[in-house]
Amino acid sequence: MPNTEFSRENDAAQDPSAQVNTSAGALSGAQRAAVTALVDSIQPVAEELGDRFDSHGQQLAIVGGPVRDALLGRATNDVDLTTDAVPQRILELIDGWADSVWTVGIEFGTVGLRKRGLQLEITTYRSEDYSPKSRKPEVAYGTNIHDDLLRRDFTVNAMAVRLPSQEFVDPFGGLEDLRAKVLRTPGRPEDSFSDDPLRIMRAVRFAAQLGFSLAPEVAEAARNMADRLAIVSAERVRDEFTKLMLSPDPRRGIELMVDLGVADHVMPEIPRMRLEIDEHHRHKDVYEHSLTVLDQAMDLERKRGHEPDLVLRLAALLHDIGKPRTRAFEGGNRVTFHHHEVVGASMSRKRMNALRFPKDVTTQVSTLVALHLRFHGYGKGEWTDSAVRRYARDAGDQLERLHILTRADCTTRNRRKAAALARSYDDIERRISELAQQEELDRIRPDLDGNEIQEVLGVKPGPLVGKAYRYLLELRLENGPMEKEKVVAELRSWAAEHLEQEGRQEK
């Protein structure tokens, strides 16, 4: 059986990884089985590739996330490997064996390949360093796995399984930290965060994703060095924040970001909500309210059978960020936040653009923020059918998310009020569903298209056709589907009046 205990038999003079920290103890039977299962999951590719490198005097090991996840019993889709072979040598060793090869990351020492449908990335042992003003790391290649693991972000990601021997390598006590659910760095956290400041974001992301805590020295270094995130590209920060938001417990990560001062450099609008009193519930501030809305939106997301939804979760977190700018004090100690949804939509768009979120995601989030208060005018169902149609039409393809966000936005402790709001929203969803069945609300169009408008009015394409189209759309929303003869008559009447008004204005 392959040796899956700690690697202790290598010549320490040749490979410092032989000097293994054994304080964590040996792998348990379940953990040995997990390591074996990890290797077996990529067989026979692992055996063939390991033998290929070993026969040419090169080292190869599965490293980082796949090892960590195997030991945690989590599924993994990534297969990351590390080697002492430089990129050109990697290409030589897999030439003629890999089904396909790509070199997008070769400047950072990474070669990608596909074999029998399995995708792998092999990276040369390396060390990275950021100069004080650089957004990209300077890469230097290493010669042993110990130094490669030393440069990794956290000890739980600094474990490896050698191929083909399946020796388990853990020089920095990652297994012990995995058991304790704590994030530590292999070396000094200050050195680690200086090498790559994005690791500060990775720390809060792993806390949310894995349910881990930060070691005191790691938290302190993150707090003191949060401003170093300024040199990291917006895209890399966005990717970490996205993973955090899609994690099982984004609230945990956001609270860490705020407590450590990281949010001040990533999304400063969030900590600014902490002292703003919510106009509906003065016993809690907007920050706590927003986190509660996020939790409740995620709960509804699950109950409605949806996968983790980035747009919904961002909208839940950001729906009230306009309140600090719109806060006003009126008579009777009354606090108001007039038009905070409009201001918040603009602020959301600006921040998400700064973080380089895709345009469609940014538009969807800002739309939900802008619409999140619309339902509160519904009252006890006084809306006409045309008002319900407009509500659904304005939400468009975001309607289901708006349903969830609006329901989640109810955080009152008053059970009677909460029940009344739930009944009202049940009613509006029922009415939207009924209207949708009757009229296919999600595809509402005027009863005449552009060509028909031109034919009825005897005009060529131009501004008048667009105005007529918008008029007919409002007519459709107000009245529902109409007979064509009546629509034509309404259009001609509108055109005559419209052209008459334009004539008077020209005089």
Q: How far is CA 116 from CA 48, 182, 490, in A?
A: 12, 37, 65
Instruction: Determine the Cα–Cα distance for residues 2 and 32; give it in Å rounded to an integer.
Output: 10
Q: What HEC string does 375-394 produce? A: HHHCCCCCCCHHHHHHHHHH
Q: How far is CA 345 from CA 90, 216, 281, 294, 319, in A?
A: 49, 37, 22, 17, 8
Kind and range of the H or E run holding 242: helix 234-245
Beta-bridge mates of residue 286: none
Question: For position 147, what pLDDT does the model report?
Answer: 92
Which regions of the chain are under pLDDT 50? 1-25, 278-283, 506-507
User: Do residues 163 and 39 touch, judged by C-beta distance below 8 A?
Assistant: yes
Question: For position 272, what pLDDT does the model report?
Answer: 93
Instruction: Determine the Cα–Cα distance for residues 399 and 383; give it in Å rounded to an integer.
Output: 17
Query: Which structural domains are found in the chain, ordered by start?
Result: 1-180 (3.30.460.10), 181-266 (1.10.110.30), 277-443 (1.10.3210), 450-506 (no CATH)
Task: Give the total residue count for the chain.
Answer: 507
Which is it for strands 80-83 and 60-63: parallel, antiparallel or unpaired? antiparallel
Instruction: Determine the Cα–Cα distance for residues 120 and 93; give it in Å rounded to an integer.
Output: 14
Question: For position 31, what pLDDT does the model report?
Answer: 86
Chain segment 32-67, per-residue pLDDT in tens: 898 889 999 898 999 999 999 999 999 999 999 999
Q: In 3D, which of 85, 10, 1 has the Cα closest to residue 35?
A: 1
User: Do residues 317 and 254 touch, judged by C-beta distance below 8 A?
Assistant: yes
Token reading at 187:
């070396």
Residue carrying the six token digits 């997008």: 104
Cα angle 481, 483, 485; round to 5: 140
